[in-house]
Amino acid sequence: LNRWSSNMGNDFIRLDEDSIAHMTSYLKAMPQAIPKAIARAMNRAISSAKTEASRTLRTKYTLKASTINETMTLVRAKPNSLVAELKSRSYTASLPLNRYKFNPKRDTTGSSYRAVTIEIIKGKPIKLDKGFVWNGNVFCRDGDERLPIIKQTGPTVPQLLNSEKILPQLQEHAQQSFEKRLSHEVDALLKGNVK
């Protein structure tokens, strides 16, 4: 459970001027309002990528949406700064196992001892040898003695995104969403629906 790397942060989705390079030939002839349309399209796309990242991880892992989303930061594009980013950053090298599904939830020390299972990947519970629950956290004894005990941890959100090679899929999702949204924004601009 502790085999994951300790990379704690990644700027993993980015849309910038290069994303619209193939469209600049006709955008140059459009009104000054076009940067606003581009910024809106970028921001919709990067928000969509955030939603997709959470959905993708929750289909495979037992993390809650709140645990995933707390690592996510959006840098929104502005008309004078056409850069939009989605960052996933963890400030710890690993996540406590209580962020994943585990059983039982109550303390299992003393006379209340019960075997502890942890489920990081959905449908694949793991029984923890010498594991126990105390104060809402999962521990294991290091050896046959009562002490020392080790708090058990699992992979962080950025580590999961990297280990499953999800980033290229999310980049493609953001790019497609951007191009589709930009088409709508430009169409609305040309029809005079956007200023």
pLDDT for residue 148: 87
* Chain Cα centroid distance, residue 157: 6
11, β-bridge pairs: 87
Closest CA to 85 of 152, 146, 174: 174
Q: What is the pLDDT of residues 120-133, one digit of tens each?
A: 999 999 999 888 99
**pTM exceeds 0.85:** no
- Per-residue CA distances from 119 to 10, 55, 95, 99, 179 (Å): 25, 18, 13, 10, 38
Q: What is the pLDDT of residues 43-91, one digit of tens each?
A: 999 999 999 999 999 999 999 999 999 999 999 999 888 889 999 998 8
The residue to which tokens 């690993």 are assigned:
94
Tokens (6 digits) for 147: 């002490």
* Chain Cα centroid distance, residue 7: 14
> In the predicted model, is pLDDT for residue 102 greater than 70?
yes
Quickly state the pLDDT bin for 20 (edges 50, 70, 90). Answer: low
Let me know how long the chain is.
Answer: 195
CB atoms within 10 A of CB 32: 7
